[in-house]
Amino acid sequence: MHPRDEKDHKRHSQIASVGSLLWANRMSDTIRAAFWMIGAIVAFTSMAIAGRAVSFELDTFEIMLFRSLTGIVVVLIVGAAAGTLRQVRRTNMGVHFVRNVFHFTGQNLWFYAITVIPLAQVFALEFTTPIWAILLAPLILGERLTKFGLFCAALGFTGILIVARPDPAALSNGVIAAAASAVCFALTAIFTRRLTRTETITSIMLYLTVLQAIFGLIFAGYDGDIALPTADTMPWVILIGFAGLLAHFCLTTALGLAPAAVVMPIDFVRLPVIAIVGMILYAEPIDRWVFVGAAIIFAANYLNVTRGRRVG
């Protein structure tokens, strides 16, 4: 072989090796992201089951109070072990407060909705959170609203109408609560995005649990009567606290390993999983129109993630 040809051959081999290594690393990250998303799906599903289990003894404010107290303990233990508690600062308290008002409201509406309408319908409407974020982010963060973003929002609302099938004569309070919780979660995400510019995860999570506990104490105790978990419900309450934190940690970790375009389709698996859980545990019928509407909502979100930044 000519020396120059041999040199070119070695160079191409090295490039191919580097390309293979990068591809393997990318695949490894995708696989790890998939496992983290499995954890998120299990956590979200567990929280819904536990929420129903305790709803017969505790109202939504009491659930939020005890969930947040559990969360405070977890965050302090993990933060102390990781040495990140020193990162907690008293700046941006106004943004922390507003963010947690929306999160507290949305979570209470969500806990109410899972007790009165099928779980699959709640999860399908929860998938509209990114659609609301598209519309609300320009008003709060000053981000540009593109024509393609508006198209995705309109497509998402078509899916909402199919899932909810609103009948003015018999509009379900549960459907309204689930849809409103998605709006609140979108506002929570927007203010979280603002906080992440200057705040660490530990700071955000600690203020989340502390403020949620304060709100829960105020609203659960306004009548002077706070029901305490019994021996039967305490494990469920602890599960809610752990599952809530774990779900968001898994989701955030997955998004750090793989693009949203990869993570979102995995997250959509939550819908058939919760539909099967609802059918087995609560004899809830599987409504094909919920899946049709949810698929349209997913398509709107997926298009916005994969093409929204490239199309004006």
Q: What is the pLDDT of residues 104-119, one digit of tens each?
A: 999 999 999 999 999 9
The one-letter code for the residue type at 5 is D
Q: What is the pLDDT of residue 1?
A: 53
CA atoms within 13 A of residue 166's CA, in its CB half-sphere = 14
Q: What residues contact residue 58 under an 8 Å CB cut-off, 6+ apart? A: 66, 227, 229, 233, 237
Structure tokens at 289: 């129109």
Alpha-helix runs per DSSP H in the chain:
3-54, 60-82, 93-116, 119-126, 129-140, 147-164, 173-195, 201-220, 234-257, 260-267, 270-282, 288-307
The one-letter code for the residue type at 165 is R
Tell me: pLDDT of 24 over 80.
no
Instruction: Collapse the DSSP code of 296 into the 3-class scheme (helix H, G, I; strand E, B; otherwise coil) and give the result.
Output: helix
**Per-residue pLDDT band at 280 (split at 50, 70, 90):** very high
Tell me: pLDDT of 203 over 80.
yes
**Per-residue pLDDT band at 27 (split at 50, 70, 90):** low
**Per-residue pLDDT band at 310 (split at 50, 70, 90):** low
φ/ψ of 297, rounded to 5, equals: -60, -45
Q: What is the pLDDT of residue 162?
A: 87
Alpha-carbon distance of 171 to 173, in angstroms, equals 7
For 221-241, b where at least 16 C-beta lie within 10 A, e where not — what string? eeeeebeebeeebeebbbbbb
Tell me: pLDDT of 237 over 90.
yes
Cα distances from 81 to residues 69, 76, 202, in angstroms, run 19, 8, 12
Instruction: 15-23: list long-range contacts, CB under 8 Å, 24+ apart.
Output: none
Q: What is the pLDDT of residue 57?
A: 93
The whole-chain average pLDDT of the chain stands at 85
**Per-residue pLDDT band at 42 (split at 50, 70, 90):** very high
Question: Please, are residues 232 and 2 in contact by the beta-carbon 8 Å criterion?
Answer: no
The whole-number average pLDDT for the span 284-308 is: 86
Look up tokens 């779900």; give the residue.
247
Tell me: pLDDT of 188 over 70.
yes
Tally Cβ neighbours within 10 Å of residue 274.
25
**More reliable by pLDDT, 6 or 298:** 298
Q: Which of 86-90, 248-252, 279-283 has the lowest mean pLDDT?
A: 248-252
Alpha-carbon distance of 157 to 161, in angstroms, equals 6
Alpha-carbon distance of 311 to 291, in angstroms, equals 28
Structure tokens at 124: 């399908």
Taking phi first (over 0 means left), then psi (-120 to 50 degrees means alpha), and beta for anything else, what does residue 200 get?
beta
Rounded to a whole number of angstroms, the CA Rg of the chain reads: 22
Angle of CA points 274, 296, 135, to nearest 5°: 100
Q: What is the pLDDT of residue 18?
A: 46
Structure tokens at 166: 């609103």
Q: Give tens-digit pLDDT for 52-106.
A: 999 999 999 999 999 999 999 999 999 999 999 998 888 889 999 999 999 999 9
Find the distance separating the first CA and the last CA of the chain, reported in whole Å: 53
